[in-house]
Each structure stands twice: as structure tokens, then as C-alpha cells.
Amino acid sequence: MPESRQACPFCGLLCNDVVAREVAGRLTVEPGQCPLAERGFEQAQAPAAESRIGGRVVSRDQALDEAARRLRACSLPVISGLAVDVGGMRALVELAHRCRAVVDHGNSDAKMRNLLTMQTDGWMSATLSEVRHRADRVVFIGATAGDRQPRLFERLFGPGPALFERQPPVPRQLVFLADRVPAAAQALADASAGALTCAAIPVATGDLPRALGVLSAILQGRMPAAKDVAASGLRGIDLPALQALAADLRQARYAVLAWAAAELDYPHAELTVATAARIVRLLNRDTRAACLPLGGNDADLTSDAVLLWQTGLPFRTAFREDVLRYDPVGNRAQRLIDDREADLLLWVSSLNPGLVPRSHPDATIVFGHPAMRLEREPDVFIPVGVPAFDHPSHLFRSDKVVAIHYEAKSTPARPPLPGVAATVQALLTRLAADAGVRC
């Protein structure tokens, strides 16, 4: 059967060249390209779950009526999950304003590690295209970025035309502050005939803050003495390797420090991000350097971008009367639920059936991916369409400089479902019927 090139919305790279075939009325990704795309395309065409109230199958209209009733009855709703496209997030911002809700993404703990650094220190960042065509030294802080975005190394370092041909050619070097070189990166290096090299400086995840601190000190001309290393708990960190890395970064034409904030899952990880940003500033005194924060999975950057342009504020914003209140600690959705301050959770995940609420307040409404399965039955469940499959969509790429438009992919696998935007608008229509009643 003829193959086609498809755009994939299932990680922050938003690749537009996934090879797929139509087999028995279903789009099937050719094996070996990307496990996220294979799984995402399969799940997007799953038979849709039914609308339910307390586990009882009902019509969509009945479920929307019950969702509206519960929103009217609550005192502090939280809207989270937010794995949605641009149109879905715009509708959810309108709903948050109508219901005076707190808005927080399901993955925002990772997002905040970057945001807190941006707010306090700022940084100099690169796009994916800049890294591909200009960077000659790239340091990955950790080793799982390629697991979260499987085609990352192919997109950044794979063969293909370059915008700038350097004579003589400049070898590109990848260094991983981790216990391993990812297999995908090593395979590209092995096939590059020396144009790309990979190396790992063994650093445990918990030691990344100290390793980056040492690298920063070296770049400032303050090489730690051996006695200081022993006293500060830095045993096991390869100081000569970090010293060599500092020298390589100083000599680079364009150095990049890249990380996935989701990997930096330990207390005060924002300080690790701040140190990486500081290293980039130090390098820019004499050469050119940039940060590459890798995110965008579950549309976290898409929903954040919409919230920013609609309100001027990021996640963890509360809509109070006509006042918006941003509080990165107090408005954390999970804290509000765990401390029983929130009495209703509206969880929305249309891209990833695995993004589910970890705990529930008194009432829970879920607008979910058609393949979503929940361990605990919510009070109201309404299946919603998958962006780029059931309806046209826009999503923002990992570097947040490109918005990709997707057409719907009509297949006979199942009838298309209304998307989040249409579902929320139907809910708003019901709430507007009670103009004098607050949600």
C-alpha cells in the first residue's frame, strides 16, 4: 500500500516526516522510526470510550449537563492536565475566567525548574535549527532527553544539507554528563566517519548540581584543589574531564548546553538550570554559546504559550474576580488537591492517554483521550478528539519559536470526536444559561 509522510504531535519535536501506511483503514507508522509516534498513532485510532457519570454510560449531553452542575456547585476548581492544542487551551482559559479557577499543567513541576531561572536570571537560548546548523560543541546535562524525544539526535545531528559549509569542516562533539552515551547518538557518530564524536563524563543525576558548579568555577579560573574536592563531597567527579570540557567549550565556535527539565527530578533542581544558564553567560564573553531547554511533550509549551498571550502570566495562575494571581508555590495543582483546598478538578488530556490525575479532590471531571483508562472512576468522563487526528490543530514546537498546523487525519478506524475546544464551548454555553449564577 502507498506510504505517506505524516506530521506527528506526540512529543515536542513535532516531526512532519513520519512515514506511515494505511492498512485496513488505519494509519500505521513504519516500524523503527519513533516509538512515541508508533504508540501515539495507534492510540489515537482506538475505539472511543463512552461518556460516563460515576461509571454509568450516558449521552454526551447528559455528561456535559452534569459537568456544568458540578462546576456551578464548587468553590475552588482546578483545571489541570492541559495536554491540549492551541484552540483547546484558549477555550480552557475562557472557562477558567468564567469559573474563577486555578490553571496548572500536569507536568508543570518540570516546567517550573526552567521558569524560575528565566524569572530570576534569564538565559540565552537557541532554536533546534541553530543547533543543527551552527553548534559544534553540545553538552547534554543527563542522558534521557533522547528517551523523551526519540528522534532528537537524528533531528539535530543526522545527515542532511547544512546551511553553512565550513572549510575545513569542523568536527562536532557531543558530551553527556551522564553514565552513558545514548545509543541513538552513538549510532550517528559511528556512521559519521569522524564528523561527529560522542563522549560521556560519568555523573550521577544527583551529582549534576555539583558537577556543573565545578565546571562553572573552572570557567571562571577557580580550579578546585584536591583537598577541597574531598571536603565538599565531590569524590567520584572526574575533575580532569571537566577541565578538558571547559577548554573545549572555550574553543568552540558555538557551544550549547541542553537539558530536559523532567530529568532533573530532585529538590531545588532550578539551581541546576540556573548554573547551566550562568555557564552559557560566561562562555559568551569570548565565544558564542546558548541554552537548549528540551520540553514540549504533552503540549506543555503550547498551553503555556496560550496562557501567556491571553493573560501575561504562566501556569499556576488563579483567576479571582477580575484579578489574576500568579503563585508558583501556592497555586500548584497537586498541593491544592492534597491540602483539600480545591474541591473540583477538571483534568484535560487529549494527546496522551497516560497523563492521568495522581489524586482526586471531592469532585473530578475528565475530558480524556479516547484510549484513556483510569484506575479510579471520575465523577464525569467525556472522551475528546485527539489533536491532529480528529480535528485540525496548532501546536508549539520544543524551542517555542514555531507553531505547526495539522490537518485532521480522517480514517475509518472510528468516527471523529469533538475536540477540547468544542467540548469546552458546549460547557460554557450551559454555564452562560445561568447568567446570574457563579460556577
415 phi and psi, to 5 degrees?
Answer: -65, 145
Q: Which helix (H) or strand (E) holds 136?
A: none
User: How does pLDDT run across 380-436, given as a tens digit for each residue?
Assistant: 999 999 999 999 999 999 998 889 999 998 777 788 999 999 999 999 999 998 654
Q: How far apart are CA 265 and CA 438, in angstroms?
A: 39
Cell of 56: 454509568
Place of cell 563524563: 201
Cell of 422: 468544542
Q: Which CATH architecture does the domain made up of 49-104+316-432 adopt?
A: 3-Layer(aba) Sandwich (3.40)
Q: What are the residue ranges in the chain where pLDDT is below 50?
A: 436-437
Q: What is the CATH number of domain 111-295?
A: 3.40.228.10
Q: How far apart are CA 398 and CA 262, in angstroms?
A: 13
> How high is the pLDDT of residue 235?
62
Place of cell 485532521: 408
Q: Would strands 52-53 and 380-383 be described as parallel, antiparallel, or unpaired?
A: antiparallel
For residue 259, the cross-strand partners are 141, 293
Q: How far apart are CA 298 and CA 104, in angstroms?
A: 13
> Which DSSP symbol is given to 385?
P
Q: Would strands 172-177 and 137-141 be described as parallel, antiparallel, or unpaired?
A: parallel
| 182 CB-near residues (< 8 Å, 6+ apart) | 143, 146, 147, 153, 176
User: How does pLDDT run across 339-364, given as a tens digit for each residue?
Assistant: 999 999 999 999 999 999 988 888 99
Mark out the alpha helices in 252-314 (DSSP H runs). Answer: 270-283, 300-311
Handedness of CA 54, 58, 63, 65 (dihedral sign): negative
Sequence ranges of the domains in the chain = 49-104+316-432, 111-295
Contact assessment for residue 20 and residue 4, using Cβ atoms and an 8 Å cutoff: yes
Helix (H, G, I), strand (E, B) or coil at 327: coil
Q: How far apart are CA 409 and CA 389, in angstroms?
A: 5
Helix (H, G, I), strand (E, B) or coil at 421: helix
What long-range pairs does 392-395 form, CB within 8 A, spacing at least 24? 393/9, 393/85, 393/86, 393/87, 393/419, 394/85, 394/86, 394/87, 394/302, 395/9, 395/14, 395/85, 395/86, 395/299, 395/302
Place of cell 546548523: 133
> How high is the pLDDT of residue 167?
53
> How high is the pLDDT of residue 259?
96
Cell of 358: 495522581
Amino acid at 223: M
> How high is the pLDDT of residue 232?
57
Cell of 151: 528522534
> How high is the pLDDT of residue 170?
75
> How high is the pLDDT of residue 122?
87
Sheet holding 196-201, edge to edge: 196-201, 172-177, 137-141, 255-259, 289-293
For residue 344, the cross-strand partners are 77, 363
> How high is the pLDDT of residue 225?
67
Sheet holding 363-368, edge to edge: 56-57, 52-53, 380-383, 363-368, 344-349, 77-83, 102-103, 317-320, 323-326
